[in-house]
Structure 1
Amino acid sequence: MRTAGIIVEYNPLHNGHVHHYREAKLAASADALIAVMSGPFLQRGEPALCSKWARAEMALHMGADLVIELPTAFAVQPAEWFAYGAVSALEATGVADALVFGSESGSIAWFRELAALLRDEPPALKARLKERLAAGASYPAAYASAAASLADGPDAGTLAQPNNILGLQYCLALERLKSGIVPLTIPRLGAGYHDREAASSSAADGIASATAVRKLLLRERGAAGLAAAAPYLPDYTVRILRREWEAGRGPMEWESFASPLFHLLLTRPASAYAELAEITEGIEHRFLQAVPGLDFRRDDRVTQLLAAAKTRRYTHARLQRALLSILLDRRKEDVTREVLERGVPYLRVLGFSACGRELLKRMKESATVPVVTKVTKEASPLLELDIRAASAYAAAYAKPDSRELLRDYYQAPLQTEA
């Protein structure tokens, strides 16, 4: 059984993702597909619109055969470690033959060549990266510029495109893991990753960026938002989102967490910030100094905080990940380089199809880390962080439910017979 892997967030799953799924299976000549999916919080440090269980359900409806959760320790990281964790999960299954990702480039050759060149972080890369950071560039921009300066091929602008950034990091991770998984890429279709509006042409082809879809869903909450976004979503995504909204389980955004976040931000001892991941260079002081200028009568308090704290050096994503460390008590010791370099220490199964059941049987022999279908109290530190993240997420629902708070302990993997 030839098996392809994809790395996803599905926030929410839209028509562009369906295109990626279909093209991935074709490109890899795959009989089965594994989706490695972020949990309740995402790579740029923002909460997902709906729970990981709802998004895993969408993936199964689409046709994914096995949905594995990317641990929070990797899911909420800059591109390098996000990619490394996700690729290590595919490698750990022992059954993945190919990794297929979308890119603005659409050509795999330069990804592989540049990844081989950068694999061992040559001194010239480090020196040029340091120069660009000293000049005030953000890390993603500095890395793209430094990498482009070492190779013939893509320029810094090409490398800085969001999907190209991740694609290069996926190929780097495969190199560093000495993986036999073959990387493949397909051209990103239609709207750009960060396009905030659905273009007039988008309705015709049903493709809009996830950013634009989320904006439609959040602009008019409830039925009106769903109706506005529906042309860009599969029917099952609309149905699942409607169910979640009606149950008070979304749409989730940073403002859903404003009360617990500001409580922690304002009551945490100054000495405790030094223990938290992503809290460096006095970033906590920017948050605290911004608080007196916020208008707490408005319902966008976290948005105001992020805008006030943002600088060229502190990107929006970095600030969001820092806020998540405060919210989740995400500590430096839990996500050190040594911890992350080991890759994922378990494979948490969120759902599977009939074909996925066969993959799980094969993984009993091939997987190099435990396959988790039931959480026990003897969880690893990284799994404990996943559970903590899921509980904090559910506690912020408009209609909190005690079972949702502890759902990770009793929810069996979702199953479909398709």
Structure 2
Amino acid sequence: MKTVGLVVEYNPLHNGHHYHFQQSKIESGADAVIAIMSGNFLQRGEPAMVNKWARAEMALRMGVDLVLELPVAYSTQPAEWFAFGAVSALDSTGVVDSLCFGSESGDIRWLHRVANAQFEESIQFHELLQSELKAGIPYPAAYGKAVARYVPGTDEIDLAKPNNTLGLHYLIALKRLHSRIVPLTITRQKAEYNQTDITDQQIASATALRHMLFEQQSLEDIAPFVPTSTLEVLRREWSKGHAPIGWEHYAKPLLLQLMNHSAGELAQYHEVTEGLEHRIKQSLSSLTTNTQHTVEDLIGLLKTKRYTRTKLQRMLLRILLNHSKPKLSADVLGHGVPYLRVLGFSDKGRELLRIMKKTARVPIVTKVTSLSEPSPMLDLDIQATSVYSLAYPSASERDLFRDYYEPPVQI
């Protein structure tokens, strides 16, 4: 069975994702589709607007055959580790033939050329990167400028585009893992990754759709831009008070964490770098003059030219989730995913799972209690679900420990 892999968040799944799904099958000639999907917290350091099982259901109802969870240790990382975790998961299945990702350029040749040069980062490149960082610009921009200087002919503007950046790191990860998976790309259509305005009658970015949901609080407004099945799932979760979930739902537990830790203790969390722990404590004293104490206000106080919103969101998320530096060290992440967590499957997906019992290089997890040995990374996923449920109006014990109770979604 020829199988294509997709790396997704589906926050929420919309018509642009459906287009990517269809084109991926056409470009790869695949009979089956496996999606590596982020869990309850996402790459930009944000909570998913709806939980991972609901989004897995959206994927399966669209036609995906098997949905595997990208552990939170990787799903909330910058592009390099996010891509490495996703590719290691696809590679570990032993059944994926190709990886198809969307990109702004739609041209994989120049990404291959840059990936070949970046496969082994040299001392020269590291020095170029450090020189750009010293100028006080954010890491993504500094990285793009350094690559453009290191690989002549590379357009730093194209490289800075988020899907191109992720695509580059998918290719680098494939090379580092010596994977047999063939990378493919298709051009992103009609809506940019972070585009907040809507310029098409059927396709809008997930960012624009989330903005509509949070600002207008009306599900029906997004109906033209999402499959019917997505709307049905969102209606169900919305009626239970389980959507839409955003950062402000976690303002109290986050601020409690920040207040109860000294600057030295905050410095032990992943992503708290370059003295940001002191800036956090200083910002808290300014925040007390605001009666609402919102996460948005805190980010506004922390933000500088050097620190992007995404960097700050990731940092705050690590503190909220209790992710210390040792838990997410390069040594820990560099081994790749230690298990494949099944979130859902179709009939064809069940067949893939049967094959994977022989081909997978890491354990397949359908029940979190089934692992023969403890997994610190899986513990982080279970803890993340408990924290995520704090956003619900009245989180039950079952919500807090849902990873122990919830079976994979079956379509």
Correspondence 1:178-257 to 2 at 5 A: 178-199=178-199, 202-203=200-201, 206-221=202-217, 225-257=218-250
2:390 aligned residue: 395
Deviation at 1:238, TM superposition (A): 1.0
1:317 aligned residue: 310
Separation of aligned partners in 2, 1:15 and 1:153:
34
Contact 1:375–1:410 (CA under 8 A) maintained in structure 2:
no
How many aligned positions are there?
408
Contact 1:279–1:322 (CA under 8 A) maintained in structure 2:
yes
Deviation at 1:337, TM superposition (A): 0.5
Which has the larger displacement, 227-236 or 250-259?
A: 227-236
1:157 aligned residue: 157
1:122 lines up with 2:128 in the alignment: no
Separation of aligned partners in 2, 1:123 and 1:279:
25
- Secondary structure in 2 matching 1:149: helix
1:11 aligned residue: 11
Which has the larger displacement, 237-246 or 377-386?
A: 377-386
Deviation at 1:379, TM superposition (A): 3.6
Deviation at 1:28, TM superposition (A): 0.5
Contact 2:49–2:243 (CA under 8 A) maintained in structure 1:
yes
Separation of aligned partners in 2, 1:10 and 1:296:
34
- Secondary structure in 1 matching 2:90: helix
Correspondence 1:5-44 to 2 at 5 A: 5-44=5-44
Deviation at 1:41, TM superposition (A): 0.5
Change over 3 Å in CA distance of 1:97–1:345 after alignment to 2: same
Which has the larger displacement, 180-189 or 376-385?
A: 376-385
Correspondence 1:94-109 to 2 at 5 A: 94-109=94-109
Structure 2: which 5+ runs fail to align?
Answer: none
Deviations 1:166-191 (A, max 9, x none): 00010010011111100000000001
Amino acid at match of 1:400: A
Deviation at 1:40, TM superposition (A): 0.6
Contact 1:171–1:183 (CA under 8 A) maintained in structure 2:
yes
Contact 2:267–2:277 (CA under 8 A) maintained in structure 1:
no
Which has the larger displacement, 116-125 or 339-348?
A: 116-125
1:169 aligned residue: 169
Deviation at 1:275, TM superposition (A): 2.1
Deviation at 1:330, TM superposition (A): 0.4
Amino acid at match of 2:32: A
Identity across aligned pairs (percent)? 52
Amino acid at match of 2:223: A
Amino acid at match of 2:16: G
Separation of aligned partners in 2, 1:171 and 1:139:
20
Q: Which of the numbers 357, 361, 372 marks the counterpart of 2:365?
A: 372
Separation of aligned partners in 1, 2:145 and 2:2:
37
Which has the larger displacement, 92-101 or 372-381?
A: 372-381
Contact 1:247–1:399 (CA under 8 A) maintained in structure 2:
no
Contact 1:34–1:68 (CA under 8 A) maintained in structure 2:
yes
Amino acid at match of 2:380: L
Amino acid at match of 2:386: S
- Secondary structure in 2 matching 1:49: coil
- Secondary structure in 2 matching 1:10: coil
- Secondary structure in 2 matching 1:34: strand
2:376 aligned residue: 381
Amino acid at match of 2:268: E
1:78 aligned residue: 78
2:399 aligned residue: 404
1:331 aligned residue: 324
